[in-house]
Structure 1
């Protein structure tokens, strides 16, 4: 069946191109320039047969040149609408074409055999996965039972007698030299052999190479995997798809036509082995890349913090504005603010999920160290702490005494305590006696400061204290403290006691004299039995007779001393008429008793 083509033949055209390779979506795709196709699709013929060559480019060429052995065969200017330029060939040789101004196509080698009765038809170059048909033809029909196919001079066993040898899904193991033979009908035992055809299965595409962009991603950053391969120039129209794997686990939903796979965020724990696979859509050809480990680097957060006002020393009532930004860490990010107080206690500030933190009016409780935390759902990054100092002027301090009394004795231990209710630390407390400094003490807490000293009589006077935290000193109210020395003051009560004792002795002697005179029969100063009308002069009447002195003791005790002081006061009654005063002195004189 010379000049005929089997409908089982998979190829209808031979694409022979000169390539320009450009990467598209990670796959190196070919851009066909000039293309030669054959009809019928064979490269071996009997002498006298004709094959039609067609030159194709992008669209219909307006200018075509045909070449054979470096000589121009034909040149056409313009073509008929809807028709491509063709060339009828009947001679063996290498042919190629040039469409428009594109580079020439790849040559195609044609062989026309003469004076042979058996020809093994061979298709254009064979690629992986192709279904190949080798046909053993004669000029006249022969019985298929008489045909035998050989590979590398070894007879092949076919399922049933046929004039065609089918190779399904060709691969490298199908490479070799093929021929066919038939038994001679006129010479018993003789065999007629055909020409030898070398089948070289070409690679449809090489093993893919997996690449990551970036090659050393940062923890949490996106990564794009690219499965790179390159289709053969003569099969640039083939369709392949790609699959991606992590430690033999498929990524995504499976294979698709994209040679790229996007990982939104890759983490250090994802530093595993990755590979990809490229395959034809009918899965006849599939190839895997080598395993590739992606080194994921730990993210190094570059925090930028700003503060308004620029100074970290603030005064109560000012506006505080903190802002946190970060570089080198992929998002999306959420922010949290924390405060660390002087006791190193950390507290999360509520409602601080933004990069900006604001306090409209600061007070003393807002002092501390502030830092922000950025979180991208897998990692947390913490900034350096910003110390914020809030200055509050001290209030007027209050001075208190340990005993609560403003009187003390020589040698007593006195403790002065000074405290301001408000004021930012550190507060310096200083104690004064009559404008002379006694000492000072600095404290961080709000409990104030104390000063201890021994009292002496020389230190009776005004005491006060001051408090100062650098924003202006405040002075307390003064307290007067009296100091007594009992060893010097005891001479006064002793002298008083002696004087009172002598006075009591004098009064006692006088009373004893009055009593003794009356007892011995002496006449009284007045006689009540006499008649007041008796005119004879008698004893004179005295108006200035001293009356009995009424003594009233007064006691004065000091609870701190063991001495009892006694004071005796004398009172004299009013003068009366001498007659009325003639009463007995003894009736109105009483002895003062010492209790």
Structure 2
């Protein structure tokens, strides 16, 4: 009985571990954009790519336009080439773009504005890291004799430049916000610039004393619930088997042997 319990426990543990190892098969993905800017002139081209860790099958570039039309690349817009989607932009393509898997997982999102006017602001579409140098350019569709440009952040004038561009040598969280530019001809649309924290290098600090590894939970809530629902029966079976084994072993050790008929007769003789 004890061996059977141990074998069942081992089998249950192996099955549950296999579920835990295979329960997070969906790779994470990020959307990259080339060139990395959020504003474009009409008929300019942009390449959007899903960078996936692991199997990229089933991932596609999706957009939600300003009109609320949700569609994927290679339908009525864009040309799919491998994991990339190449788009020749028109104003109706303005909207939010991201990568999406067949199971509904999403990557980061990028906001693209296609301007039919004469001036756009060239600013990063992807988040920039604190400490990086960032250059914003006010671009005119044509040739300007006067490059004097005013740059605005959150509606307030922050810089007047004679070169048509401004550089932030080391961006910080305070530089995050909504930017636009104006020149003698027109003003650009507004675009949001996101600033993220610094990613520290492992060599920036002394090597700490090794400590026991602590598992880190890195799955989404739906996948976590799914794993729990699938794995719970195995844990329940394991617990029940352990309890039964322990009870059977305890009862076997504490049970008093019943006396046979001959033993009872012997006891009577001794009493007489």
TM-score when normalising by structure 2: 0.53
Partner residue, 2:197: 203
**Of 30, 42, 45, which residue of structure 1 is paired with 2:40?**
45
Q: Which runs of 5+ in 2 are unaligned?
A: 1-25, 76-80, 212-272
- What whole-Å deviation, never above 9, does each CA across 1:101-127 have from its counterpart, x for those lacking one? 68221222211112x111112202233
Q: How many residues align?
A: 171
Secondary structure at 1:193 match in 2: coil
Please, which of 185, 191, 201 is the counterpart of residue 240 of structure 1? 201
Q: How far apart in 2 are the matches of 1:198 and 1:65?
A: 25
**Residues 107 and 149 from structure 1, CA distance in 2 versus in 1: closer, same or farther, beyond 3 angstroms?**
closer
- In structure 1, distance between residues paired with 2:27 and 2:134: 23
Q: Do the aligned partners of 1:98 and 1:104 also contact (CA within 8 Å) in 2?
A: yes
Q: What does 1:175-324 align with in structure 2 at a 5 Å threshold?
A: 175-184=176-185, 192-204=186-198, 238=199, 240-241=201-202, 255-256=205-206, 258=207, 260-261=208-209
Structure 2 counterpart of 1:138: 140
Q: Which residue does 1:154 correspond to in 2?
A: 157
Q: Secondary structure at the match of 2:108?
A: coil
Alignment of 1:488-503 (within 5 A): none
Q: Matches of 2:99 and 2:178 in 1, distance apart?
A: 29
Q: Which has the higher strand share?
A: 1
Equivalent residue, structure 2, for 1:167: 168
CA contact (8 A) 1:37 1:54 kept: yes
Q: Does the alignment pair 1:127 with 2:121?
A: no
Gaps of 5+ in 1: 1-30, 77-82, 185-191, 205-237, 244-254, 264-595
Is the CA contact (8 Å cut-off) linking 1:56 and 1:84 kept in structure 2? no
User: Which residues of 2 match residues 371-390 of structure 1 at below 5 A?
Assistant: none
Query: Is 2:86 the partner of 1:88?
Result: yes
Decide which structure has the larger Cα Rg and report it.
1
Whole-angstrom CA distance in 2 between matches of 1:32 and 1:169: 33
Q: 1:196 to 1:71 in 2, by over 3 A?
A: closer
Deviation for aligned residue 1:32: 7.1
Does structure 1 residue 36 correspond to structure 2 residue 21? no
Alpha-carbon contact 2:179-2:190 (below 8 Å) kept: yes
Give the corresponding residue for 2:72. Answer: 73
Distance 2:27 2:138 in 1: 33
Q: CA deviation at 1:203?
A: 2.8
Question: Distance between the aligned counterparts of 1:73 and 1:177, measured in 2?
Answer: 28
Name the one with the larger helix percent. Answer: 2
Whole-angstrom distance in 2 between the partners of 1:165 and 1:42: 15
CA RMSD of the aligned region, Å? 3.2
Task: Measure, in 2, the Cα distance between the counterparts of 1:52 and 1:202.
Answer: 23
Q: Is the 2:50–2:83 contact (alpha carbons within 8 Å) kept by the matching residues of 1?
A: yes
The C-alpha deviation readout for 1:141-187, integer Å capped at 9, x for no partner, is: 224543232344225155xx322211122012323443222224xxx
Normalising by structure 1, report the TM-score.
Answer: 0.26
CA distance in structure 1 between the partners assigned to 2:197 and 2:33 by the alignment: 22
Residue in 2 aligned with 1:117?
Answer: 118
Residue 195 of structure 1: how far off its partner (Å):
2.0
**Aligned position for 2:219:** none
Give, in angstroms, the shift of residue 75 of structure 1. 7.5
| Distance in 1 (alpha carbons) for counterparts of 2:36 and 2:112 | 11
Deviations along 1:286-338, one digit per CA (max 9) or x if unpaired, are xxxxxxxxxxxxxxxxxxxxxxxxxxxxxxxxxxxxxxxxxxxxxxxxxxxxx
